């Protein structure tokens, strides 16, 4: 039986179902909640090869006729050109407003498809079927959708909450190990933000999460609970939701500094290094104990994630250049930066007045 986590957004509340075998039950789960009988399924080539037939059969069994739109895999697919293809595909399938748009894939497909679903006919029913660990614990929940602009990542999009999220934990067996680890960094993030018992549990059970079985679903469900809580409290990120950016300030700077070259660093790896740095930095500012920073580093290293800047292959720009990536990424008021810092494992907080000079000397020491 799958675990159900509800995202409490009043009349827009929705369920996240987590468990194995959910693709085969997709039609039943969707038609129980939504009236439409037709669906557009948007996916990428990798995911289609491994899981599309199972999902199609699952939809048909529930009386839903799918039209499939297949995109190339990769971050470059989050573009205006591909958005246009998806929009056209949905319209060509003659879907009406009550019908559903289904995203079958990782965060790239989820973000692109959600945006298309948000603008076609001013908003269609949207269902997320996340297939990467990152998408199951993070991007499929919360309603942020969008594409990239040549001027930066995720700059164009809308908030559109899905009507249902089906996280089939079995599909993760075909995910490349490096992508699994990258998603794991975002899973561990919830422990580090405000669930110290989750982090302690992961330190003991992470191998079982990687292997599959009940611990995997349990960990994903806990992550979804954490994300659902934050989203229900602060849907549009005017406050608390920013805590989800733990590790992302350093992480985004490292992604930019490596030209978003996935061969060197994928997003979750940047977040892993970023979380380790955020703890180290907090300890340098005497906010957290160095033992907590060491604990984070030890765990990331144990699971095979990079945890320090020197783990990134190739040359990195110097500390000044890294700081400029950070200040580009966010508003700087009079030399002060907003950072997610921590008082220890599970005690992250939003610090609004971190001096850029402190960040610079920290980056020099840890380069
Ligand atoms: P992705 O969608 O590119 O998937 C990673 C790779 O794994 C791709 O090559 C994909 O084809 C492949 N893949 C996915 N599932 C598979 C499976 N089951 N078997 C085999 N291969 C599979 O990347 P991602 O890491 O899932 O997501 C990253 C994206 O998510 C970024 O664009 C990021 O901006 C976005 N994101 C969005 C939010 C949000 O709140 N909307 C949050 C975090 C990240
Ligand atoms: Zn992230």
First-last CA distance in the chain: 48
Could you give the CA distance from residue 107 to residue 173 in angstroms, rounded to a whole number? 17
Judged by its nearest atom, the ligand closest to the C-alpha of residue 161 is 1
The helix or strand, by DSSP H or E, that contains position 70, with its residue range, turns out to be strand 65-71
Backbone angles phi, psi at 43, to 5 degrees: -150, 180
Quick check: CB of 108 below 6 Å from ligand 1?
yes
Could you tell me the sign of the dihedral formed by the alpha carbons of 92, 143, 171, 17, in that order? Answer: negative
The count of structural domains within the chain is: 2
Residues 107 and 229 in one domain: no
* pLDDT for the residue numbered 328: 81
pLDDT in tens, 271-284: 999 999 999 999 99
* pLDDT for the residue numbered 31: 96
Yes or no: say if 30 and 65 are a contact pair by the CB < 8 Å rule. Answer: no
Which residue, of 151, 173, 195, is where some domain finishes?
A: 173
Residues 123 and 242 in one domain: no
The helix or strand, by DSSP H or E, that contains position 246, with its residue range, turns out to be none
* pLDDT for the residue numbered 151: 84
Test site for ligand 1: of 135, 136, 152, 305, most ligand atoms within 8 A of the Cβ = 135
Quick check: CB of 283 below 6 Å from ligand 1?
no
Q: Which residues of the chain have pLDDT under 70?
A: 329-333
* pLDDT for the residue numbered 37: 85
Residues 52 and 117 in one domain: yes
Cβ neighbours, 10 Å, residue 94: 10
Residues 198 and 167 in one domain: no
Residues 130 and 182 in one domain: no
Average pLDDT, the chain: 96
CA nearest ligand 1 atom 26, residue: 106
Could you give the CA distance from residue 365 to residue 367 in angstroms, rounded to a whole number? 6
Quick check: CB of 154 below 6 Å from ligand 1?
yes
CA nearest ligand 1 atom 44, residue: 139
Which residues form the catalytic set?
A: 122, 144, 186, 227, 237, 241, 245, 248, 252, 267
The helix or strand, by DSSP H or E, that contains position 334, with its residue range, turns out to be none
Quick check: CB of 174 below 6 Å from ligand 1?
yes
Which residue, of 141, 158, 173, is where some domain finishes?
A: 173
* pLDDT for the residue numbered 333: 67
* pLDDT for the residue numbered 330: 66
* pLDDT for the residue numbered 110: 98
* pLDDT for the residue numbered 331: 63
Could you give the CA distance from residue 157 to residue 145 in angstroms, rounded to a whole number? 5
* pLDDT for the residue numbered 98: 87
Residues 230 and 93 in one domain: no
DSSP secondary structure code for residue 161 in this structure: -
Yes or no: say if 158 and 115 are a contact pair by the CB < 8 Å rule. Answer: yes
CATH number of 91's domain: 3.40.50.1970
How remote is the CA of residue 103 from the centroid of ligand 1, in Å?
11
Which residue, of 120, 146, 173, is where some domain finishes?
A: 173
Quick check: CB of 49 below 6 Å from ligand 1?
no
**Which residue range forms the structural domain that includes residue 152?**
3-173
Residues 99 and 184 in one domain: no
């Amino acid at each position: 039986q799958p675990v159900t986590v509800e995202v409490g957004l009043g009349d827009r509340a929705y369920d996240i179902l987590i468990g194995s075998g959910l693709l085969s039950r997709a039609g039943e789960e969707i038609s129980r909640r939504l009236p439409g009988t037709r669906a557009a399924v948007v996916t990428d080539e990798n995911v289609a090869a491994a899981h599309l037939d199972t999902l199609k059969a699952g939809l048909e069994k529930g009386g839903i006729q799918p039209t499939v739109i297949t995109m190339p895999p990769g971050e470059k697919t989050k573009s205006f050109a591909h958005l246009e293809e998806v929009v056209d595909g949905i319209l060509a399938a003659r879907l009406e407003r009550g019908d559903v748009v289904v995203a079958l894939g990782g965060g790239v497909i989820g973000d692109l498809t959600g945006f298309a679903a948000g603008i076609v006919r001013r908003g269609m029913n949207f269902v997320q079927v996340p297939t990467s660990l990152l998408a199951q614990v993070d991007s499929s929940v919360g309603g942020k959708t969008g594409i990239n602009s040549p001027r930066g990542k995720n700059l164009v999009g809308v908030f559109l909450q899905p009507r249902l999220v089906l996280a089939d934990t079995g599909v993760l067996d075909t995910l490349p190990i490096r992508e699994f680890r990258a998603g794991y960094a975002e899973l561990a993030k919830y422990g580090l933000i405000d669930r110290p018992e989750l982090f302690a549990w992961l330190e003991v059970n992470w191998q079982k999460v990687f292997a599959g079985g009940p611990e995997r679903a349990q960990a994903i469900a806990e992550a979804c609970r954490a994300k659902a809580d934050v989203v229900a409290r602060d849907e549009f990120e005017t406050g608390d939701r920013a805590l989800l950016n733990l590790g992302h300030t350093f992480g985004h700077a490292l992604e930019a500094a490596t030209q978003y070259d996935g061969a060197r660093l994928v997003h979750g790896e940047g977040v892993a290094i970023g979380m380790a740095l955020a703890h180290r930095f907090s300890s340098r500012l005497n906010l957290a104990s160095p033992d907590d920073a060491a604990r984070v580093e030890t765990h990331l290293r144990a699971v095979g994630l990079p945890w320090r800047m020197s783990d990134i292959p190739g040359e990195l720009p110097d500390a000044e250049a890294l700081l400029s990536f950070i200040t580009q990424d966010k508003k700087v008021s009079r030399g002060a930066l907003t950072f997610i810092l921590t008082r220890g494992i599970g005690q992250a907080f939003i610090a609004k007045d971190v001096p850029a000079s402190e960040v610079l000397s920290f980056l020099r020491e840890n380069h």
